[in-house]
Amino acid sequence: MIPRLFTARRYVLSILAWVGVWVGVATVSVVVGGKLWTWDSPAQLRNVLALRLEWVATAGVVGAALALAGLAFQALLRNPLADPYVLGVSGGAGLGFILASLFLSSLLAPAFGFLGALVTVGLVYAIAQRRGRLEPYTLLLTGVVANVFYGAAIMLVTALARPAERGDIALWMMGNIGAFGPQWVLIGVMAALVAAVGVLYAFLAKGFNLVAAGEETAGSLGVRVGRLRMTTFVSASLLTGAAVALAGPIGFVGLIVPHGLRIVLGPDHRRLVPASVFLGATFLVLADLAACLWEGASDRSLPVGVLTAMCGGPFFVYLLRTRWRRAAEVQ
């Protein structure tokens, strides 16, 4: 019996393969989405290329961030159905973003969205911690409370806003790529964040596996469970907050990508971490391409969050009819 060991060679090869996939998909998206062959003048072509590159880059980093954060939250909360928004960070980011674009400037809004996320991290920690430690169950409950609160706050702001603003807010809440001013600097910061956290999780992946097998077991195998939980909580929340500040609360990427990968690749987080980063990026780039093509064909705009949400339903139906039913039959 030759086992499928987790070796360095396989790891590097798989990462290279993923990079290749992403570059291929991104290139297709830039070329096809921008219909690069249809432009007359070089000035136009340059503008379109810059625009497409910017949006594909945004979709890539946001998709990667959401998928990675989703994976981390699923590990942290010991719940394979957790998504990055379950702890209320997206609500905080959303409120910060909306308030800033209403009362300050829409160009500062992403920064304030991130600030809102930071504040939420602090609040959730303060409420959920017991003697400095985080337990999955109390975290989850605190997140529910946070989401309820932020949902109410955002509803209040929307109700009090002028009718023209309401449309803007509603559209932002669906999740959009490329709805804002030029943002290469933001994309760069986001990419650095994704890279840093991705590398961090590559080192924490072993710990994720062991904690899934049991907290005491993990402790006996050398994992500092409390520290792991804290680090995961903070880093995943930062990723989520940044993603929401940049593109709004795009749904389902953070849930579908890690969950789907777990079905295909198994529960080993050492494989799931790099796969989530790249599949998340690829998934959102493809969704953005689909939205772009739809907009070109139908002359109406389609927020990318709508597409990802529409993928969620069929995905769960598929899960229900295959894996879950099998699990229920076994019992």
Partner 1 sequence: MAQSSRSPMTETLHRADGPYLDVRDLTFAYAGGPPVLRGLSVGVGRGRFVALLGPNGSGKTTLLRIVLRLLAPSAGEVRLAGVPLQRYPAGALARRLAYVPQGTTSVLAFTVLETVLMGRSPHTGALGFESAADWHAAREALRLTDTERFAERNLEDLSGGERQRVLIARALAQEPELVLLDEPTSFLDIKHQHAIHRLLRRLVGERGLTVLCVSHDLNLAGAYADDVVLISEGRVAAAGSPVQVLSADRLEAVYETPVRVRLDEATGRPYVLPMPEE
Partner 2 sequence: MMRPWRRAAVVAAGLAFLGAGLACSESPPAGPSAPGGERPLRILSLTPNITEILFAMGLGDRVVGRSTYCTYPPEALAVPAVGDTIHLSLEKIIRLEPTLAFLVARPEAVRHDATLARLESLGIRVVPLQADRMDEMLNAIRTLGRETREEEAAQALLDRIQGDLDRVRKQVAGLSRPRVLFVCPMSVGSSRVLVAGRGTFVDGLLDVAGAENVYPDEANWPTLSPQQVIALAPDVVIINAVGSNAPPDRVETIRQSWASLTGVPAVANGRVHILTEPYLTIPGPRVGQAAERLAEAIHPQRKEAPSP
- Assess contact for 303 and 172: CB atoms under 8 A: no
Of the two residues 111 and 319, which places its CB atom closer to partner 2 in the complex? 111
One of 12, 16, 137, 181 touching partner 2 (CB under 8 A): 181
Half-sphere exposure of 64 (CA within 13 A, CB side): 26
Rounded distance between C-alpha atoms, residue 310 and residue 89, angstroms:
23
* Of the residues 14, 39, 53, 79, which one makes contact with partner 1 according to CB under 8 A: 79
Q: Which two tokens stand for residue 168?
A: 């803007």
**What does the per-residue mask of binding to partner 2 show for 126-165, with x meaning CB under 8 A?**
------x-----------------------------x-xx
Q: How many CB atoms lie within 10 A of CB 171?
A: 15
Judge whether 279 and 253 are in contact, CB under 8 Å. Answer: no
Q: Which does 216 bind (CB under 5 to 8 A by kind): partner 1, partner 2, none?
A: partner 1
**Euclidean distance between CA atoms 258 and 277, whole angstroms:** 9
Give min distance, CB of 182 to partner 2, in A: 5
Residue 62 CA to residue 238 CA, distance in Å, equals 12
Site size with partner 2, rule: CB under 8 A: 56
Site string for partner 1, 124-153 (x = CB under 8 A): -------x----------------------
Q: List, in order, residues 6 or more apart from 144 with CB less than 8 Å away.
A: 86
Residue 176 three-state SS: coil
Own/partner pairs, 194-198, CB within 8 angstroms, 24+ separation: 194/61, 194/64, 194/65, 194/68, 194/239, 194/277, 197/65, 197/68, 197/235, 197/236, 197/238, 197/239, 198/64, 198/68, 198/273, 198/274, 198/277
Residues 183-242 that bind partner 2 (CB under 8 A): 183-186, 188-189, 192-193, 230-231, 234, 238, 242
Q: Nearer to partner 2 by C-beta: 168 or 215? A: 168
Is 1 a binding residue for partner 1 by CB under 8 A? The answer is yes
Query: Per CB under 8 A, which region of 23-31, 60-68, 113-121, 268-276 contacts partner 2?
Result: 113-121
Query: Contacting partner 2 (CB under 8 A), which of 152, 296, 323, 325?
Result: 296
Structure tokens at 60: 């890539």
| Sole window of 10-18, 47-55, 61-69, 323-331 interacting with partner 2 (rule: CB under 8 A) | 47-55
Nearest to 240 by CA among 228, 231, 249: 249
Sorted by sequence, the CB contacts under 8 Å of residue 108 that are 6+ apart come out as 100
- Examine residue 118 and tell whether it contacts partner 2 (CB under 8 A): yes
**Nearest distance in Å: CB 268, partner 1:** 6
- Which residue of 214, 295, 318, 322 would you call a contact of partner 2, by CB under 8 A? 295
Beta bridge partners of 133: 130
Chain residues that interact with partner 1, rule: CB under 8 A: 1, 3, 5-8, 11, 78-80, 131, 202-203, 205-206, 209-210, 212-214, 216-217, 219-224, 262, 266-268, 270
Chain residues that interact with partner 2, rule: CB under 8 A: 34, 39, 41, 43-44, 47-48, 50-51, 98, 101-102, 105-112, 114-115, 118, 121, 125, 132, 162, 164-165, 167-169, 171-172, 178-186, 188-189, 192-193, 230-231, 234, 238, 242, 245, 295-296, 301
